[in-house]
C-alpha cells in the first residue's frame, strides 16, 4: 500500500473514533434531540465520504476528486473547530456549561480528532514527503 493511502486511512479512522468518543462524552443524557442529530450528521458525513474514499481505485485516491476534496474540507473544518474548542476551554469555568473544560476527559477525544485531521491535511499539502513518497 502507498504511504498516502495508509495515512489517509488512519486519519479517517482516528477522526471517526474521536467524534464517536466526543459524542458519548459531550452529549449529556438529558440533551434535546438536536444534539444527537448533529452528532449523527457529523458522523454520517464522515462515514459517507469515508466509504466513498475506500471504494475509489488506487489512481482515483491519488487525484483530486469530489470525495478527496470533501474529506479535505471536513478535515480542515474539524481541525479549526477542535482547536477553537480547546481555546474555549480556557475560558469555560462553569462545569455544567457547553463545550470543553480542558480536562483530560475533554482533551482526549479532541486530540484524537486533531491528530486525524492533521494526518489528512499533511497528505494534501503539495510539499510534503508523504505525497512524493506515495507517487514513487
| Torsion sign across C-alpha atoms 101, 111, 26, 82 | positive
Structure confidence by residue, pLDDT tens digits, 1-13:
588 899 999 999 9
Structure confidence by residue, pLDDT tens digits, 78-122:
999 999 999 988 888 777 777 788 889 889 999 999 999 999 999
Question: What pTM value is reported for the model?
Answer: 0.85
Amino acid at each position: 500500500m502507498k504511504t498516502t493511502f495508509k495515512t489517509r486511512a488512519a486519519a479517517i479512522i482516528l477522526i471517526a473514533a474521536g467524534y464517536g468518543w466526543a459524542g458519548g462524552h459531550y452529549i449529556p443524557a438529558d440533551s434535546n434531540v438536536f444534539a444527537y442529530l448533529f452528532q449523527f450528521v457529523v458522523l454520517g458525513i464522515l462515514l459517507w465520504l469515508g466509504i466513498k474514499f475506500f471504494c475509489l481505485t488506487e489512481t482515483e485516491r491519488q487525484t483530486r476528486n469530489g470525495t478527496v476534496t470533501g474529506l479535505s474540507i471536513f478535515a480542515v473544518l474539524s481541525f479549526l473547530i477542535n482547536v477553537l474548542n480547546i481555546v474555549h476551554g480556557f475560558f469555560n469555568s462553569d462545569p455544567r456549561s457547553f463545550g470543553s473544560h480542558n480536562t483530560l476527559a475533554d482533551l482526549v477525544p479532541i486530540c484524537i480528532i486533531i491528530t486525524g485531521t492533521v494526518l489528512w491535511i499533511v497528505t494534501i499539502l503539495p510539499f510534503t514527503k508523504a505525497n512524493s513518497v506515495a507517487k514513487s
